[in-house]
């Protein structure tokens, strides 16, 4: 192998290992079905921003009846998934969420929703094993 071929091979190997490392750094927060709990409250904020998959994820802040924060980072689903089922979420909505606490990619606590109820409508956003349906 000539010198140019060797340099190209080394650069390709370095690029591949760097890309693999970058993929592992955007790991999905872990969902544990055995740790599911129900949380109820009123939506205090709705934010849409790229999630760990690069899709527009809908995130909520939930407050209790006394206006104290119940959950400051609630990861619901992608905006496209909620739109597909005509399930809008807005500030002031009373919701009941089934899900589990986990750790976000930046290390902060996040509540991962499995099922949400608004008024009398229930929407499952994860399967029974906790895998996202979107």
Angle value at C-alpha 21, between 20 and 24, nearest 5 degrees: 90
User: pLDDT 10s digit of each residue in the chain, 134 long?
Assistant: 554 443 333 333 333 333 333 333 457 789 999 999 999 999 999 999 887 677 899 999 999 989 999 999 999 999 999 999 999 999 999 999 999 999 988 889 999 999 999 999 999 999 999 999 98
- Provide the number of structural domains found in the chain: 1
> Residue 110 is encoded by which pair of tokens?
């996040």
Give the predicted TM-score (pTM) of the model: 0.77
CB proximity list for 20: less than 8 A, separation 6 or greater: none
CA dihedral 111, 131, 18, 15 (to 10 degrees): -150
Question: Is 57 domain-assigned?
Answer: yes
Residue 81 in domain:
yes
Full domain range(s) for residue 61: 33-124
Alpha-helical regions (H) of 1-134: 3-24, 79-84
Q: Let me know if residue 8 belongs to a domain.
A: no
Domain with residue 49: its CATH number is 2.40.50.140
């Amino acid at each position: 192998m000539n010198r140019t071929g060797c340099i190209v091979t080394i650069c390709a190997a370095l690029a591949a290992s760097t890309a693999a490392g970058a993929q592992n750094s955007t790991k999905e927060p872990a969902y544990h079905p055995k740790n599911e709990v129900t949380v109820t409250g009123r939506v205090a904020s709705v934010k849409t921003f790229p999630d760990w998959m690069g899709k527009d994820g809908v995130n909520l802040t939930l407050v209790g009846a006394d206006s104290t924060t119940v959950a400051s980072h609630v990861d619901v689903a992608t905006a496209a998934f909620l739109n597909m089922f005509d399930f809008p979420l807005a500030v002031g909505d009373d919701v009941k969420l089934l899900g589990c606490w986990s750790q976000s990619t930046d290390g902060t606590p996040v509540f991962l929703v499995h099922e949400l109820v608004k008024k009398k409508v229930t929407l499952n956003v994860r399967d029974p094993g906790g895998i996202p349906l979107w």
